Structure 1
């Protein structure tokens, strides 16, 4: 898809890009060969580079990067203490690279996350631009989170008409998750960490399971976004298949989740 993308070029918006496609300029090569020579052609050609496109694409169109980084994608989600972003605010980092599902936990192996990040060329998150990445930059100031390209799925999903948090979007798209933590949310994850600190034996594994459920669901969500957009374009682009869901070894304590999510209703 990226070789057919012009929207990151200054002065080319969605309408002008669509007009280029309709006129037959359906790829960078076709544009280079057939567009009349002149200042605009030379100006545009200066932007037809993968890395430049990755830095320049509007957030709502960053999904176009996905096929270009096959094999180098890292799905990413974090859990926190619920406080402000600080050096010790990240409790769990969940990652999935299409092969290995892994959690990095504060006080255990969270420093090993650096090696996983260094192998990634593309990060895929949900609301990561405003939440996950700023928290991680504060927690790991020497790591370069700006080096990998980044797709924050919240923005293209909004353009497709899906709003709300990750779990709500999953429900709208019929993407399932483990029933044991189906009622949990970000605040539950905070409570699970506090329960772990108080010595609850099943809290940490439940937190890890919750985090990794978020992570592995980013993959079908990413592919759903890609397929829904390409269906609307006058281009011959194949839909991507959704791969089998990976197994998650960590198990959730459903009773603990029920107790933590049974919050009293506020007084009227």
Structure 2
């Protein structure tokens, strides 16, 4: 078994402004050799310490548009710069662009034959699911949001195989 551990990371937020919109979920798909583990930080459980703990031993973090969104958002909201902490980072969006694949993850996935279990959930719906959970105590909404986030991280691993 290899000691190298890679992480596929995706965040959910209530909007696009890190000043006004909190992170609601951080999903991390950890892969070390043939071992895989999935970690989600949710709501008040999202702290710098919890994130660094979840990423312990990780060599490279893989994201989609993470250089412009996920990592700066984490830096702003949690006060930690994951690159300065020594993690490598690979933004798979750039690899997609080099292969002529443009658009968001949900647009690129079908072009590569990557399927979704929740094809009708997108970033806008993720925000709505969070607020249904918070405002209406809708546990099923949270469950759907967490499954959507998990699927994003799992699909990043598949995407990597196609574009790197």
TM-score w.r.t. the length of structure 1 is: 0.55
Distance 1:70 1:119 in 2: 9
1:8-51: CA deviation from partner (whole Å, max 9, x where unpaired) = xxxxxxxxxxxxxxxxxxxxxxxxxxxxxxxxxxxxxxxxxxxx
Indicate which of 96, 113, 116 corresponds to 1:174. 113
* Aligned-residue CA RMSD (Å): 1.7
Shift of 1:83: 4.5
Pair 1:159-2:79 in alignment? no
Shift of 1:149: 1.1
Distance 1:144 1:169 in 2: 28
Gaps of 5+ in 2: none
1:61-119: CA deviation from partner (whole Å, max 9, x where unpaired) = xxxxxxxx973211000000115103861000000112101211012x32322202232
Moved over 4 A (4+): none
Q: Report the secondary structure of 1:188's partner residue.
A: helix
* Partners of 2:10 and 2:27 within 8 A in 1: yes
Indicate which of 52, 74, 88 corresponds to 2:7. 74
Gaps of 5+ in 1: 1-68, 227-268
Q: Report the secondary structure of 1:151's partner residue.
A: strand
The residue aligned with 1:197 is 134
Alignment map for 1:74-113 (pairs within 5 Å): 74-86=7-19, 89-98=22-31, 99-107=36-44, 109-111=45-47, 112-113=50-51
Q: Pick the structure with more strand per residue.
A: 2
Q: Pick the structure with more helix per residue.
A: 1
The residue aligned with 2:154 is 216
1:133-161: CA deviation from partner (whole Å, max 9, x where unpaired) = 111001211x3411211110111111101
Pair 1:121-2:54 in alignment? no
Identify if the C-alpha distance between structure 1 residues 176 and 70 changes in structure 2 by more than 3 Å, giving closer, same or farther. Answer: farther
* Partners of 1:121 and 1:149 within 8 A in 2: yes
Indicate which of 89, 97, 101 corresponds to 1:150. 89
TM-score w.r.t. the length of structure 2 is: 0.87
* Partners of 1:83 and 1:89 within 8 A in 2: no
Larger Cα-atom Rg: 1
Say which structure, 1 or 2, has more relative contact order (CA 8 Å, 6+ apart).
2
Identify if the C-alpha distance between structure 1 residues 71 and 120 changes in structure 2 by more than 3 Å, giving closer, same or farther. Answer: same
